A and B are shown apart, each in its own frame.
Chain A
Amino acid sequence: MLQVLEGSIAVAEAVKVCKVDVISAYPITPQTHIVEKLAEMVAEGEIDSEYICVESEFSALSACLGASAAGSRVYSATSSQGLILMAEVCFNVAGMRQPVVMTIANRAMGAPLSIWNDQQDSLTLRDSGWIQVYAEDVQEVTDLHIIAYKVCEDHRVLLPAFVCFDGFVLSHTYEPVEIPDQGLVDKYLPAYNPYNMLDAKQPLSMGMYATPDYYHEFRYEHEMAMQRAAGVWREAGAEFAKIFSRDYSQAVEGYRLEDADIALVALGSVCGTIKDAIDEMRNDGLKVGLLKIRVYRPFPADDIKKALSGMKKVAVVEKNLSSGSRMLGIVGLEVKDAINDSSISVLSYVTGLGGRDIRKSDIRKIVNACNEGKGNMFSGLREEIL
């Protein structure tokens, strides 16, 4: 049944059907509506979860780690400064292989302080060892949570995941959405079955320190799990598609790419705008397509190479800045490396930082610049105030 729900409320509903045992979160704009809704659900007895009101994001994720290690399914949500305050815990949760699922309502990083959207926060933690997925719309972010728990808790994986969606653009936007049926979700996502847990009946030491004789191999094992996550995601996505008729099994998704000369590459909600811009440009005879990256970690390099092999030019829309890097964007560098073909021009366009709207006309400008061979630059600057 379709309902018109705010993105944050849909996320809370997704968490509800995932039957999370422990929720621990600290309020930060634009994540607040998610955790407020969950707190309300707990207060009304609509969900059988414990909600911990912690004193910081740092403690939010630390408490999730503890609850997860004690054998519970856990959830948190955050944004921007909150996520970066958690950074140390993020590495730790991943290294301790706890399948924590956390929503990131993507927001710019200060300074200057900005509550508005870009993807600097989660992309900055690209290397923290978490699976990262990015949603284009409210339905997708709802569904990705359910798949994320399935993948993270799989004993072949045992890694945490960020489910990212753009702050305000999706978190505060009402869209028609179908909340998956509880009975079907129960079948898809059975109760949490921990691999290791704190239990006085079977004592175990968790989170020990590793000397140089062991550390290297622990990191290798972590990486192998991340690599396996790609296949497990495809599997879990396909199973989800069978039950719920929405298919997120592919790490990347093409739009009008088959005969395109120029491919745009992007993550998240801007993909919707890009698709509309592509339709218009196509009417004007421009052969443009889109490659949307849904699963950013593990990075789907082979899928990207395959999808973009016939292109002449690739323009990566970056809602982030890798300050001081040659291409300026975090994603472009990885896309270029994945394609690994000097005959295809790959350029980055840093745009829409700190909540600046990205319009169809902005996409058109990026395509024009790409056509002219200009790139690895800021796009959409207000030149008049510089």
Chain B
Amino acid sequence: MADTSVELFEPGHRACGGCGPALAARHILKGSGPDTIVVASTGCMEVFSTPYPESAWKVPWIHSLFENAAAVASGIEVALKKQGRKEHIVCICGDGATFDIGTMCISGAFERGHNITYVCYDNEAYMNTGIQRSGATPYDASTTTSPAGSASHGNRTQKKDMPAILAAHGAPYVATASIAYPNDIVKKVERAVNIPGACYIQIHAPCYTGWGFEGARTIDVAKLAIQTGLWVNYEMVDGDVEKVKKVKRKPVDEYLAEQKRFRHLFKPKRNDEEIAKIQAIADRNAANFGIDI
């Protein structure tokens, strides 16, 4: 069992107060432990945690580029194997780095099956550059490059199913998690780093600055995503869904209405048609994963 009393992600970092990804980082490291090498992509977390010469990381940490963390991790893993070393290698990358610009490197690394754990902290847009849409941005979310307007409901596409894509690569372990349940993150990361091969964990990490809600409610918003079925926490082992968090589902309105990125769906009046489409996404999730209690 991981010793969760050890903090490997130090305070003094420059994340916004109430940052979901910062909270994720703490618990990822609790799960992987001190014998971990972290490979970061360019992004919010990289920037807020490592302005030279102040690093928040107490484990070895490396950042190269936006899109190559999985390839850098591949090299580290092979070097460690050659040297007979046993450290865990954990990529911690945002959704832009994972869903969009880094997919080639990730696909290569997962196909080769390096013994790495790739963790995506998913805050559903490019937050570091000012809230532009990514492949992880949900349907209808207003971002700075998918703004809602008189001729647009916001982001036109649905969230890409990265866990399924990586499971299809033959990943022995794929899981989703949420900062709403930190102990679950610890357990899943600990499990992943101890499974040989390339494992993937996607952590829902609300960004109150980018999504537009009050920072103190970061955990509540993360919980609502799960309670509405718009985010599902599950584990897949060798491609089969093993464990799913079940919920007594709430209507998606409760999750959407609180966030500025969905405000256009409620003002000047409730957009029944669009909200029904989002409800349908939640219903489909519920059917696919059997989350309803």
Contacts and interface: CB of A to CB of B under 8 A. Distances in A.
Interface of A: 21-22, 24, 49-50, 52-56, 58-59, 62-72, 74, 88-89, 92, 96, 198-200, 202-211, 214
A62 B72 contact: yes
B61 A205 contact: yes
12 contacts: A52-B75, A53-B112, A58-B67, A65-B75, A67-B76, A72-B83, A198-B60, A202-B60, A205-B50, A208-B63, A209-B46, A209-B52
Contact of A66 (B36, B58, B79): B79
Contacts of A67: 75-76, 78-79
Interface in B42-60: 46-47, 50-53, 55, 57-60
B107 A66 contact: no
B281 interface: no
A68 B82 CA distance: 12
Contacts of B111: 55
B50 A204 contact: no
B51 A208 contact: yes
Given A52-B78, A200-B37, 13 more contacts: A24-B75, A49-B82, A52-B112, A62-B74, A66-B62, A66-B79, A72-B79, A92-B64, A198-B37, A206-B63, A207-B62, A207-B64, A210-B52
Contacts of A65: 64, 68, 72, 75
Contacts of A55: 104-105, 107-108, 111
Given A21-B79, A66-B62, A214 B71 contact: no
Nearest to B54: A208
B68 A62 contact: yes
B60 A204 contact: yes
Given A21-B82, A198-B37, A208-B52, A66 B73 contact: yes
Contacts of B64: 62, 65-66, 89, 92, 96, 207
A209 B47 contact: yes
A210 B63 CA distance: 12
Contacts of B46: 209
Given A66-B62, A203-B60, A59 B87 contact: no
Contact of B71 (A50, A59, A74, A200): A59
A53 B111 CA distance: 10
The CB with the most chain A CB atoms within 10 A, among B51, B75, B105, B109, is that of B75
Contacts of B47: 209
B61 A70 contact: no
Contacts of B35: 200
B76 A69 contact: yes
Nearest to B72: A66
Contacts of A70: 37, 75-76, 79-80, 83
B34 interface: yes
B65 interface: yes
B39 interface: yes
The residue in A66, A72, A199 that gathers the most chain B C-beta atoms within 10 A of its C-beta is A66
Contacts of A53: 112
B105 A200 contact: no
Contacts of A24: 74-75, 78
B82 A22 contact: yes
Contacts of B75: 22, 24, 52, 62-70, 74
A50 B76 contact: no
B105 to A, nearest CB: 5
B104 A56 contact: yes
B250 interface: no
B81 interface: yes
B62 A72 contact: no
A52 B35 CA distance: 24
Contact of A63 (B50, B51, B57, B74): B74
Contacts of A200: 34-37, 59-60, 87
- Can you list the 7 inter-chain pairs with the closest CB atoms, starting with the nearest? A66-B75, A55-B108, A63-B75, A62-B71, A205-B55, A67-B75, A66-B72
Contacts of A96: 64
A198 B76 contact: yes
Q: Which of B50, B76, B78 has the most CB of A within 10 A?
A: B78
Given A70-B37, A209-B50, A210-B52, A58 B104 contact: yes
B61 A59 contact: no
Contacts of B39: 66
Contacts of B55: 205, 208
A48 B41 CA distance: 31
Interface string B100-140: 00001101110110000000000000000000000000000
Nearest to A55: B108
Given A52-B75, A62-B68, A64-B75, A203 B105 contact: no
A203 B53 CA distance: 14
Contacts of B83: 21, 70-72
A209 B40 CA distance: 12
Contact of B53 (A59, A68, A69, A208): A208
B71 A66 contact: yes
A24 B36 CA distance: 23
B76 A56 contact: no
A16 to B, nearest CB: 15
Nearest to A64: B75
B104 A59 contact: yes
B65 A62 contact: yes
A89 B71 CA distance: 11
B52 A22 contact: no
A88 B36 CA distance: 27
Contacts of A64: 75
B82 A72 contact: yes
Nearest to B39: A66
Contact of B74 (A54, A92, A206): A54
